[in-house]
Structure 1
Amino acid sequence: MSRRTIGFWYRLAAVIAKPPLLVLFKRDWRGMEHIPADGGFITAINHNSYLDMFSYGHFQYNTGRVPRFLAKAALFKAPGVGILLRGTGQIPVYRESSNAFGAFRAAVEAVERGECVAFYPEGTLTRDPGQWPMTGKTGVARAALLTRAPVVPVAQWGANLAMPPYAKENKVSFFPRKTLQVKAGPPVDLTAYYDREPTPEVLKAATEVIMSAVTDLLEELRGEQAPEKPYDLREIRAQERRKAAEEGTK
């Protein structure tokens, strides 16, 4: 999707969203040159705030290549929001249903049509105590290996300082003004996986390469070092289940 085909609905969404973003936040944007000017591609982004969709969306809108997000199907039923989501071509995700694969298929088709599809590989807001990226789900790698489209890693920081993830004790705080930092890096090299059978092991390895690139960018933004081992939400939940089962047998 080129600059000249952004379309009415995306421009309307920008008219609604950009003014408060410009008033409430400062910006530190880097790496726009890594967003492809033409052709389909994928972006892989860390997720640490309910606001960071707007932060990243603003960044990429200004490159002239608008993203298509995979969003919870329930949001498409919300008054007003649903109209904008459908109008801007966002992709509904029906989790744990017979339609669950439809979102992946729609994402692949969009990339093959020359559009950008934005993946949050973590699948949810980070649970890492330091708000670093968690281990990623393999959908982004599967789409990347199937389409062989460029995968651009994107890190962001700042929206979480205004609206922290899952923090009941920390209320939304817009002042003093926070800086929305967004940095895109060069496409991740996945050529080593192109001609291999997409087994769970191959998809896991490719996903780790993607998430490592996102984490490296976030380290540069924060000027800090991420934990050596990413937070694994699935592993943590498995440990919690085992612990609950053990306590239940006492």
Structure 2
Amino acid sequence: MVDISYPITIAAARAWFRLGDVRLRMSGLEHIPTSGGALIAINHVSFVDYVMAGFPAAERGRLTRFMAKREVFEHPIGGPVMRSFHHISVDREAGAESMAVAAQRLRDGEVVGIFPEATLSRSFLIKPLKTGAVRIAADAGVPLIPIVLFGTQRFLTKGRKMDLSRHKTVGIEVGAPIHPSGDDPVGETAALQATMEGMLDRLITDYPAEERPPGAWWVPKAYGGSAPTLEEAEAMYAEERRQRAERKAAKRSER
């Protein structure tokens, strides 16, 4: 497939990193294959995770095709951009079709990115993972590579205004490939979760102390910050879902 806008966007991101003094601390780049299909599973803490999570593959000369919810593709501006990048639309009510598309892209030798938490984590810890990542990788017969980010939430995350001020560190760890069989999706997903949690712990622990003041809103409580706990964040999500359902019901009643 022909890519025109994607390489231009990567070049723009590199310029942003340089001019904004975005300090990328990356490790494990050697785990991204230079050819052949690979599924990368990424934690989700920010609206710029697509940019940051695709950077390790870009450093290896690869483009990542991200799976993203259908609503993004329906946006009048975002939709054409996502399609020009050849990303994969996910209809949450017809997930099997999206998984089949992703598996075929992987068999075709593409790098595909998935956020197995299925939504952004307000606690900045890793939410319980869905089994889709291990099932897709097993179906396609490709390695599943975990990537964990920390620090991207400082730029733009849910409930916060964009902050593009300079001199921010972003930690990115690429884990060793996993080869799920698909025989036990729940157990293999639990192993993936444990791996990603260990990676996140390293990123937070190693984050520059001078940039991480006590009580920082973007640091999990367990690490001295003031972000919501997993339980508090889940309660916030539940309230958001309730309000969203009420708005949908109100729109239906108006028709």
Q: Tell me the TM-score normalized by structure 2.
A: 0.75
For residues 13-162 of structure 1, the aligned pairs below 5 Å read 13-24=9-20, 25-96=22-93, 99-128=94-123, 131-162=124-155
Is the 8 Å Cα contact of residues 64 and 111 (structure 2) preserved in structure 1?
yes
**Alpha-carbon shift at residue 219 of structure 1 (Å):** 1.3
Report the CA distance between 1:77 and its aligned residue: 3.1
- Displacement of 1:21 in angstroms is 3.5
Q: Identify the match of residue 171 of structure 2 among 177, 181, 191.
A: 181
| Partner SS, residue 44 of structure 1 | strand
User: Aligned-pair distance for 1:82?
Assistant: 2.3
Amino acid at match of 1:173: D
Match of 1:205 in 2: 187
How far 1:147 sits from its partner (Å)? 2.0
Q: Which amino acid aligns with 2:5?
A: W
Q: CA deviation at 1:56?
A: 1.4
Give unpaired runs (5+ residues) of structure 1: 197-201, 241-250
Aligned partners of 2:147 and 2:173 also within 8 Å = yes
Letter in 2 for 1:126: S
C-alpha distance in 1 between matches for 2:43 and 2:100: 22
Cα separation, partners in 2 of 1:172 and 1:84, compared to 1, 3 Å: closer
Corresponding pairs, count: 219
151-160 vs 180-189, greater mean Cα deviation: 180-189
Shift of 1:91: 0.3
Q: Where in structure 2 are there 5+ consecutive unaligned residues?
A: 207-219, 223-228, 240-255
Q: Distance in 2 between matches of 1:15 and 1:238?
A: 35
The 2-side partners of 1:69 and 1:152 are apart by: 14
Q: Secondary structure at the match of 2:164?
A: coil
Aligned residue number for residue 244 of structure 1: none
Is 1:223 matched up with 2:205? yes
The structure-2 alpha-carbon separation of the partners of 1:17 and 1:234, relative to structure 1 and needing over 3 Å to count, comes to closer
2:115 maps to amino acid: Y
Would you say the 8 A contact 1:161–1:173 is kept in 2? yes
1:11 Cα deviation from its structure 2 partner: 1.3
Q: Could you say which residue in structure 2 is the equivalent of 1:166? A: 158
Matched AA of 2:174:
A
- C-alpha distance after superposition, 1:38-67 (max 9, x if no partner): 211111111111112111123321221111
Q: How far does the alpha carbon of each residue in 1:142-168 deviate from its partner, in whole angstroms, 9 at most, with x for none?
A: 1122123111111111111222x3335
Inter-partner Cα distance in structure 1 for 2:234 and 2:77: 38
Q: 1:185 to 1:108 in 2, by over 3 A?
A: same
Q: Which amino acid is the alignment partner of residue 103 of structure 1? A: S
Alpha-carbon separation, structure 2, partners of 1:91 and 1:181: 26
Deviation at 1:126, TM superposition (A): 0.9
CA 1:236–1:148 in structure 2 vs 1: closer, same or farther (change >3 Å)?
A: farther
Check the 8 A contact 1:135/1:233 in 2, yes or no.
Answer: no
Pair 1:233–1:44, CA change in 2 (3 A)? farther
What corresponds to 2:213 in structure 1? none
How far does residue 125 in structure 1 lie from its aligned partner after superposition? 0.5
TM-score by length of 1: 0.76
Residue identity matched to 1:213: T
